């Protein structure tokens, strides 16, 4: 029972940390764009939408960003 409770608490803690991280990314003044190895946009913040002059990046491959062969994805950040 103690292990199950510890696992439950860690799951809650991980979920909370994930929400905090997402809020930080959303409020950053830099554009944040997370792309998987196939070039699909997986996460982004509002600033990157402004930078790219699009309402929402799609899950289609980004034409100007070549796919990468390493890791599950990469993060590209920068300011205008």
pLDDT tens for each residue of 28-68: 888 888 899 999 988 888 888 888 875 555 555 555 655 55
Task: Give the per-residue pLDDT at 73.
Answer: 46
Burial of 75 (0-12, 13-18, 19+ CB in 10 A): exposed
CA distance 62 to 38: 9
Q: 13 pLDDT band (50/70/90 cuts)?
A: very high
β-strand partners of 20 = none
> What's the whole-number mean pLDDT along residues 15-31?
88
The pLDDT value recorded for residue 63 is 58
Q: How confident is the model at residue 12 (pLDDT cuts 50, 70, 90)?
A: very high
């Amino acid at each position: 029972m103690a292990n199950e409770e510890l696992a439950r608490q860690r799951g809650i803690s991980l979920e909370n940390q994930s929400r905090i991280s997402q809020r930080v990314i959303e409020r950053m003044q830099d554009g944040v764009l997370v792309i998987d190895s196939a070039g699909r946009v997986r996460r982004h913040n509002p600033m990157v939408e402004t930078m790219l002059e699009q309402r929402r990046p799609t899950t289609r491959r980004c034409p100007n960003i070549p796919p990468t062969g390493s890791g599950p994805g990469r993060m590209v950040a920068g300011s205008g």
